[in-house]
Amino acid sequence: MADETQWASLSFNTLISAYIQIQSQVVSMVQDLASNISSATPGEFLLLQFAMSQVTQIGESISNLVYQVSSMIMNSVRNQKT
């Protein structure tokens, strides 16, 4: 049996596209709830709040990832100059 290592790859384009899709779904949830506000239940508000917090957390994670990649690149460039 050959020793094979498979690497998972994820591009920023794929990541951002998925984030935009999730964000659009949450916007649709807000619009649906706002258009039927008189018949909205407390549970629907809680689900919407949860979805919004998840989108915020995903956005912050992407931001942190971009910062870490940027820092790694800057350190690599700095190390090559010395």
| CA–CA distances in Å: residue 27 to residues 5, 44, 70 | 40, 14, 30
Question: In the predicted model, what is the mean pLDDT of residues 1-19?
Answer: 75
pTM of the predicted model as reported, rounded to 2 decimal places: 0.73
76 token code pair: 């690599």
Alpha-carbon radius of gyration of the chain: 20
Round to whole Å and give the CA distance between 45 and 30: 9
29's CB contacts (< 8 A; 6+ apart) are 47, 48, 51
pLDDT tens-digit series, residues 20-66:
999 999 999 999 999 999 999 999 999 999 999 999 999 999 999 99
